[in-house]
Amino acid sequence: MTFVIIKTIHLFAAFIYGGFLIVDNLFLVHIKESFDTEESKEIRESFMKYVRKVVPPSLIVAVLTGLYLITQVYGTISPEGMSRFQMMLSLKAFLGIWLGLRGFLQVYMGIQPFVFKSHVLPFAFVITIIFLSQFMYI
């Protein structure tokens, strides 16, 4: 029962974080095309004011619950090496931990990334994580 509850929390937190990245990369980038520079900055800041309250904690919750879930399903590595499932889960975990560290350092420690300052790379990582989630059980 604990596994199901934590998995549900993980999915909701991941949906919040991934949903923000989808909206930001597919829709908010086009605000500049419809409004002048000052208006677009004001609109984006109005949106981001609420995002900053919800998305960073959701990312941290998604990473922490994901780490718990990995401990429950990873299994032992056979003498032949890791299974396909374990390899995909490991890659998924690496990407998730990278996102979590980047988000934590940026939001809570005030350390801005030196490279990949936009949300394009995190968006690509989230899409990759989604596809890995679908293919790792095949």
**Which pLDDT score, from 0 to 100, does residue 100 have?**
94
**Which pLDDT score, from 0 to 100, does residue 32 have?**
85
Helix (H, G, I), strand (E, B) or coil at 82: coil
Tell me how far apart the alpha carbons of residues 112 and 130 are, in angstroms, rounded to a whole number. 26
Show the low-confidence residues of the chain (pLDDT under 70).
Answer: 114-116
The pTM for the full model equals: 0.87
Q: Which of 106, 54, 122, 24 is nearest to 32 (CA)?
A: 24
Residue 113 in contact with residue 62, Cβ under 8 Å? no
**Which pLDDT score, from 0 to 100, does residue 60 have?**
96
